[in-house]
Amino acid sequence: MLGFILYLILVGIVAGYLARLLVPGSDPMSFVQTVLLGIVGSFIGGFLGYLIFNEDFDEGAFQAAGFFGSIIGAVIALLIYRALVSRRGTTRRAPGDSRTF
């Protein structure tokens, strides 16, 4: 169990930073957020691998992916994160309203 947790942290560091490097744009994330991005990406990659290749029936759909699957999953997680953050940060104004917030 400890080995699995260390594996997730190591993959989270590498996949999180590579995802932030591969997707252009600014991401003000801390180190811990980047590691969590990579860990979430690993599980997204594992789920997608399960859906696409239909393998690993013993482990089930909720599993960590390998290195490349983790990077792909982290890129997807980063794009979802950006979409949620940008949607939350925007406000709607009436046409012609010139007030600044």
pLDDT at 49: 78
How many other CB atoms are there within 10 angstroms of residue 9's CB atom?
A: 13
pLDDT at 91: 55
The amino acid occupying position 82 is R
Chunked into runs of 10 residues, the chain (101 residues) has average pLDDT values of: 83 89 85 89 83 66 73 90 77 58 51
On whether the pTM is more than 0.85, the answer is no
Alpha carbons 76 and 78: distance in angstroms, whole number: 5
pLDDT at 6: 86
Helix axes 31-53, 67-89, angle to 10 degrees: 120
Residue that has been written with the tokens 């997204």 in this structure: 44
Alpha carbons 52 and 60: distance in angstroms, whole number: 13
Side-chain half-sphere CA neighbours of 76 within 13 A: 16
